[in-house]
Structures are given as C-alpha cells and as structure tokens.
Structure 1
Amino acid sequence: MGKNLVAVTTHLESPTPQGMNSEERVAQAKRALHRLNRCTNVVFGGDMNWDEVSDGPFPLDGWADAWTALRPGENGWTYDTKTNQMLIGNFLQLQKRLDRFICKLADFKLIDINMIGMEAIPGLSYRNKRMELPVFPSDHFGLLLTICLMQ
C-alpha cells in the first residue's frame, strides 16, 4: 500500500521598506504548520522570508528544517547579494536563508538538500543604473530536496 505525501509551497509575507512584517510572517508560519499538522507526511517549502534576527527561530514544534538537519553548520544563504552577481549594486549587503523546506515525515526520510540556480544563464544580461550584470534564474537561489520512502 502506498503512502501519501503532501507537498505545499508558500510565500510568506515579505519585509518591506515600511516594516519588516515579522508579526504577520510568524503568524502565517504558525497557522500553516497548525493546519498541516494533521497530515502524516508533509513537505512545506518556499520563500519563507524568514530571518532569525527579526522573526526568531522558525516555530518547528515537532517539524524538521531540512537544511539544518542535512547540512548542520552550513549557512544555506538562498538570498546573497555578495554571491548572486545579479544583485551586485544593491545598496544593502544581505546574506539570509529566506527559503526553506520544513518537513514532518513519518514514512519518508530526508536524504539530501542542495542549492540550485547559482549559475548565471549563459548569454543573458541586463543593465542596471551603473553596469551590465548577468541574469540568474532568480534573485534567490533555489533548493532541491531529496527524500525517499522508508522500507
């Protein structure tokens, strides 16, 4: 008999110049995990816009953060104005782990997680106010999560 797996994506409230929206983002995360908690096997991922400095630790409550579980001690910055050349020239120097996979798995196990989209798209560029810059797949690096069914 097969096992069900629920995969959910999100984009939690973004920080804005008017405010960091931390209270709303924390409430959204807690609400989502509360609703998903009834499922046995869940992968909840996406642009969480999460910043431990302003938001505190992610409210895991029995869930696992795939990056910290599989790559302890590695920064996992998916938004990095120093590494993502498409963001060079931004007035803010930011390195944040905004994107995550939060998992609750009874019948599956975490195998691997990798950052993707860290290479410029060959032959594409754009001009900002000062210089020609390469185009990356996104302003965020992506995450690729590998899980497998436990035997």
Structure 2
Amino acid sequence: MVTYNVFGDPSGASERASALMAELEEADADILAFQEASSWFLDRLHRQPWVSAYAGTAIGGERLSPSGLYLLSKYPIEGCGVIDLPGDEGRAVLYADIRVHDISVRAAVIHLAADLDGRKIRAEQLQVVFDLLRDADHGLLLGDFNFGDREPEDWSLEAPYRDLWAELRPGEAGYTFDLANNTMAQNNAFACERSRRLDRILLRSEEWREASITLMGDRALAGSPALFASDHFGVIADLVLPGGWVAQQ
C-alpha cells in the first residue's frame, strides 16, 4: 500500500504529475491513499490506463476527495464516507470498507491539522479517527499526520495500532518531509520547522503482518535538482496475509 501527500499546488504540475504517475505505476500497489489530491492530479491520474484496475472512493458516481483525500483499491470497496474533523482548517477523514478476499478492512485516510502549535487539535482529530475504526475487524490508517516521532501527539496513537515504519525500521529517521534532501520541502516549511516523519501507515490486525516498508519519490526529477514529485516523500509498505501470501500493498 502507498500513502502519498502529492502537494496540491499546481507549480510544476506537468513535470511532477509525470513523475508521480510513473512512480505509482511502478509501485503497482493494492491500495493508494492520497492527500492534497487536487483536480490537476486527479485528472491526470484517471487518464492512466493502469488505473482501470482500481476502484476509487465515490458516492453516486462522483469522486469522493474531501480536503484532497482520495483512495484507490484493487480490491472491492464495499462502502465509503467522510467525517469532518475538529478544528477550523476544514479537515476531514475519508474512510473505505475494503474486502480483501475473505478479510474486511476499514481504511482511513487523513491529513491532520498543519499548525505547529496544533497539538491539542491533532489529538482530538485522532480520537475521532480511532473511534471511526474501532468496530472494524481490521483497521488501517494512512496519511499525513503532521507531527513527527517523539512529539506529544505520539501519545495519542492507540496501542493496538502498529506504526509500520517504527516496527520494521526502528532507529531509522524515515523523514518524509526532509528539508535536507528535498528543496520543495525547504521552500514550503514553516519557520523553525525541522525534518520530520509526517507520513505514516498504521495497522491494527492480528492476521496481517508487515513485511517491508520504504520511501518513494525521494529523488529530484531528472534535470531539475530543485523539483521533486512532491514536497513530501511517499511511503510504500507490503503486508503478509494469512497463508503466507504477500500482498504488493
């Protein structure tokens, strides 16, 4: 599976979209979760032949992308919806109930409040999201959490959920908003902001097991050292399902 904040600003959109589409096609992931999915990105995405293998979050035939959140799945989406989150930034959580063979999973896509001083509101937003996932057989939470490791909001992450990067690559920074290695992140950072692992994949399941996780989009575009696919790096993870089958998630 992939989570990717694709940076909704149209600056350099043509070049960045080409890079994003190539990365996503190569990833061949079963679940794609996007943040800041603006119209230019969605239009380009749905012109790709490989996207025909996916179902997207939609209600009444209309693409569902509240606050730029969007999800694609190679497995059937049995239902989806949106719940508004606390705060004055107009944030929401997009959720989809996905059937993976005989397993039902609820996936939630988030882009939490961005304000560096918004710790309290991010904790409140996470509580709404975890309440939404509580009754699901298996819970999956993907997106831009807008806080890094060892920040106060870490205490708001509920114990049954495993942070896949922390489980598989403990001690590695895994910065997805990397001011040292992404010029676009440098340009878009708040004053005094540092590199952080903002983008995460969390899993609650006794059956699924994490197998691998890595970053994507962490190289500048060819011939354009100041231009990346996004100001965030994406995250891609594989899970092992019952019976030893590995999902190219």
Shorter-chain TM-score bucket reads 0.7 to 0.9
Match of residue 135 from structure 2: 38
In the alignment, the residues of structure 1 paired with residue 142 and residue 152 of structure 2 have an alpha-carbon distance, to the nearest angstrom, of 20
Partner of 1:110: 210
Give the aligned partner of residue 167 of structure 2: 69
Query: What does 1:47-126 correspond to in 2, within 5 Å?
Result: 47-51=144-148, 52-88=150-186, 92=192, 94-124=194-224
Gaps of 5+ in 2: 1-100, 244-249
Q: Spell out, residue by residue over 1:69-109, the C-alpha distance to the aligned partner (whole angstroms, 9 max, x if none).
A: 11111111111111113334665461111111111012211
Identity, in percent, stands at: 26
- Distance, in Å, in 2 between the alignment partners of 1:115 and 1:58 is 24
Q: Distance between the aligned counterparts of 1:39 and 1:145, measured in 2? A: 21
Per-residue CA distance 1:21-44 (angstroms, 9 max, x = gap): 111101111221122021122220
Shift of 1:123: 4.1
Tell me, yes or no, if the aligned pair for 1:40 and 1:106 is still in contact at 8 Å: no
Scaled by the length of structure 2, the TM-score of the pair is 0.51
Matches of 1:95 and 1:23, distance apart in 2:
21
Q: CA RMSD in A?
A: 2.1
Q: Which has the higher helix share?
A: 2
TM-score by length of 1: 0.81
Q: Is the 8 A contact 2:207 2:241 kept in 1?
A: yes
Alignment match, 1:129: none
With over 3 angstroms needed to count, the CA separation of the structure-2 counterparts of 1:34 and 1:93, relative to structure 1, is closer
1:58 is displaced (CA, Å) by 4.3
**Conserved 8 A contact 1:9-1:44:** yes
Change in 2 beyond 3 A, CA 1:56/1:3: closer
Quick one: distance in 1 between partners of 2:231 and 2:195?
A: 12
